[in-house]
Amino acid sequence: MTELLTREEYGAIAAALELPCNAFIDGSFRPAASGKTFTTTNPATGVALGEVAACAAEDVDLAVAKAREAFDDGRWSRLHPGTRKEVLLRLAKLMERNARELAVLESLDSGKTIYDCETVDVPETIHVLRWHAELIDKIYDQVAPTSDDHLALVVREAVGVVGLVLPWNFPLLMLAWKIGPALAAGCSVVVKPAAETSLTALRLAELASEAGLPRGVLNVVTGSGSDVGEPLGRHPDVDMVSFTGSTVTGRRFLHYSADSNLKEIVLELGGKNPCIVLDDAEDLDAVAAHVVNGAFWNMGQNCSAASRLIVQKGIKARLLDRVRAHARAWNVGDPLDPSVRVGALVSPAHFAKVSTYLEAARAETLHLGGKIVAEGFIEPTIVEVSAADNRLAAEEIFGPILTVIEVAGFEEAIAIANATDYGLAASIFTANGKRALRGARMLRAGTVTVNSFGEGDISTPFGGYKQSGFGGRDNGIHAHDQYTQLKTIWLDLTDHGGSSLD
Ligand code: NAP
Ligand code: MG
């Protein structure tokens, strides 16, 4: 368990940080070809942190060309699996050595609490990289069940040059979810971090280089979605893109692919995830703790956030009492204060978007919160609506607002839970095992948790049903499917007589 420092100590680390601000291409930092930059700010203070390279199509072209060169000459893709493993394990170790600085950098750039960065984001990122590294030399290919006259090998090969387009809600962790299996497979990658949160990806690329990752294998091209994301999505020499973000942008990537080289597209999109609590749920205190964590963790900026509490009538009042009590302990404040649980929303634009939902919430039945604490900060808010199609219950808010919907029983709960275009995650709380399992089967979501909120762990695949995404899963051994493709090698062993068998 990470030992936390004091606010003053974190402040001192922040003041001493050297911010990586240039793009990382072909093993070294370089400014955008145009020389342009954009300002990245700390959303908790509004203070500018630095000027980041504002890359564009020509920088993407360079990064893709370098990634292609690296892939084709085999400096990484054809290394012995054990050697690739060693390099990634060295990276994990280097990150451990720099964990504190990474946590502070992540917090400053995103508004996330230092508590989360220290206890979840950074250690989990390291764990994910290590897990995939360890897997590299333990995956076997297959032999198909042909007749003895043939031998058919079914082998997995790295996809090639991969574009990774990232969101701002878990900058390091989403990077690890994607580069872990991509680098393990032997791919070369071009990462496009979200403009709001580019700094930790740049630092990680620098550490990877120090760990011995050959140049050109991991490139980070900073800039906006339209200037960097789109050229990457349309690039004729990118073999696949793995994207996490909004459904609107995900849809664009399908167009980019269709209009260019039919690159593979993997999409991890949003969610409006239901959390069902039935009358017979046990230990309401524990349920409430899960509900609050599910709704307010990372200020609700979580694609798998439990944002809809679908609760059976008989238990509603007692549950809401406890949920309120737990939520009150989630204090809002300075993200660098280790006692704070709710930090700043990622940007003024996102804060403005979430504020419109807060306004809508004030017109409904408020059970908690409803106020803006300061510019960028919104207190945990619980609002009940009477219609499941109310926009608070239907749209992904991506902020600390939990919407409550009362239901009469199991069937209605499942029907409302499924009445959404999304299908990323769902939870069900009940002491009735049969109902729990029936519910888990009936819920149309990629991950269903029973009597808990969560996303599984690195060993379990994560991804969405319906408009929450498709094309592959992050995490687990299944993530490797994204970054590899199958090849059949068919050998004819027929004895035509007179062969060397005689
Ligand atoms: P977004 O626009 O989908 O951003 C995700 C990534 O796509 C960023 O790197 C972004 O770059 C890039 N991008 C944006 N427009 C693009 C375009 N036209 N072509 C190519 N790439 C493009 O998400 P957002 O605007 O940051 O957040 C909006 C909403 O998305 C949130 O409120 C939330 O509902 C959802 N979201 C979901 C997740 C998730 O984990 N599933 C994560 C974040 C957000 P720039 O941002 O640098 O321009
Ligand atoms: Mg920032």
pLDDT digits 0-9 by tens, 58-89: 999 999 999 999 999 999 999 999 999 999 99
Would you call 502 helix, strand, or coil by DSSP? Answer: coil
Mutate to test the pocket of ligand 1, among 198, 249, 307, 466 (most ligand atoms within 8 A of CB): 249
For the chain, what is the domain count?
2
Cα distance between residue 452 and residue 499, in whole Å: 64
Q: Is residue 26 part of a domain?
A: yes
284 and 181 belong to one structural domain: no
| CATH number of the domain that residue 80 is part of | 3.40.605.10
Contact 167, 501 (CB under 8 A): no
pLDDT along the chain (502 residues), means of 10: 94 97 98 98 97 98 99 98 98 98 98 98 98 96 97 98 98 98 98 98 98 98 98 99 97 98 97 98 98 98 97 98 98 98 98 98 98 98 96 98 98 98 98 98 98 93 96 95 97 83 55
CA count, 13 A, side-chain hemisphere, 91: 33
Q: How many residues does the chain have?
A: 502
Look at residue 210 and tell me if it is in a domain.
yes
Assess whether 202 and 254 both reside in one domain.
Answer: yes
| DSSP label of 307 | E
Q: Kindly list the distances between the CA atom of residue 67 and the CA atoms of 87, 160, 161, 172, 379, in Å, as whole numbers in the listed order.
A: 18, 9, 6, 21, 44
pLDDT at 495: 87
283 and 206, same domain (yes or no): no
Q: Which is it for strands 161-165 and 188-192: parallel, antiparallel or unpaired?
A: parallel
Active site includes 268? yes
CATH code, domain carrying 432 = 3.40.309.10
For residue 493, being part of any structural domain is answered with no
By three-state DSSP, how is residue 71 classified? helix
What is the predicted pLDDT for the residue at 191?
A: 99
DSSP bridge partners of 425 = 447
| Beta strands in 221-282, from DSSP E residues, in sequence order | 240-244, 264-268, 273-277
Tell me, in angstroms, the distance from the centre of ligand 1 to residue 482's CA. Answer: 20
The minimum-distance atom of ligand 1 relative to the CA of 248 is: 3
Residues 286 and 257 in one domain: no
Burial grade of 33 (CB within 10 A; 0-12, 13-18, 19 or more): middle
Nearest to 330 by CA among 99, 115, 92: 115
- Could you tell me if 34 and 55 lie in one domain? yes
Do 193 and 336 have their domain in common? no
Percent helix, strand and coil across the chain, each to the nearest 5: 40, 20, 35
243 and 322 belong to one structural domain:
no
Whether residue 499 is contained in a domain is answered as: no
Mutate which of 52, 246, 350 for ligand 1 pocket (most atoms within 8 A of beta carbon): 246
CA distance 190 to 443: 36
Supply φ then ψ for residue 466, to 5 degrees: 45, -135
Nearest residue by C-alpha to atom 46 in ligand 1: 194
Q: Is residue 455 part of a domain?
A: no
Give Cβ neighbours of residue 411 (< 8 Å, ≥ 6 apart): none
Distance CA 354, CA 321 (A): 25
- Residue 119 sits in which domain range? 7-269+468-487
Among 59, 66, 82, 195, residue whose Cα is nearest residue 133: 82
Shared domain check, 437 and 310 = yes
Specify which residues 403 forms β-bridges with. 308, 383
Q: Give distance in angstroms: CA of 246 to centre of ligand 1.
A: 5
Query: Could you tell me if residue 407 is inside a domain?
Result: yes
DSSP state of 121: I
How far from each other are the two terminal CA atoms of the chain, in whole angstroms?
66
Which of the following is catalytic: 101, 196, 206, 268? 268
Which ligand 1 atom is nearest residue 233's CA? 20
Domain-located, residue 345: yes
Q: For residues 220 and 134, give the distance between their C-alpha atoms in angstroms, rounded to a whole number.
A: 24
Q: Where are the alpha helices (DSSP H) in 363-501?
A: 391-394, 410-418, 433-442, 479-482
Name the β-bridge partners of 241: 163, 265
Please tell me the number of the ligand nearest to residue 245's CA.
1
Give the number of the ligand closest to the Cα of residue 105. 2
pLDDT of residue 2: 85
One-letter identity of residue 186: G
Are residues 414 and 288 part of one domain? yes
Q: Are 232 and 336 in the same domain? A: no
CB-count burial class (<10 Å; 0-12, 13-18, 19+) for 488? exposed
Nearest to 448 by CA among 472, 469, 418: 418
CA 380 to chain centroid = 22
Mark whether 64 and 211 lie in a shared domain.
yes
The whole-angstrom separation of Cα 91 and Cα 212 is 8
Q: Are residue 256 and residue 347 in the same domain, yes or no?
A: no
Q: Is the CB of residue 75 less than 8 Å from the CB of residue 87?
A: no
Neighbouring CB atoms inside 10 A of 371's CB total 12
96 is catalytic: no
Give CA 501 to chain center in angstroms: 55
| Residue of minimum CA distance from atom 40 in ligand 1 | 303
Full-model pTM: 0.97
462 assigned to some structural domain: no
Yes or no: say if 461 and 312 are a contact pair by the CB < 8 Å rule. no
Residue 487 Cα to ligand 1 midpoint, Å, equals 33
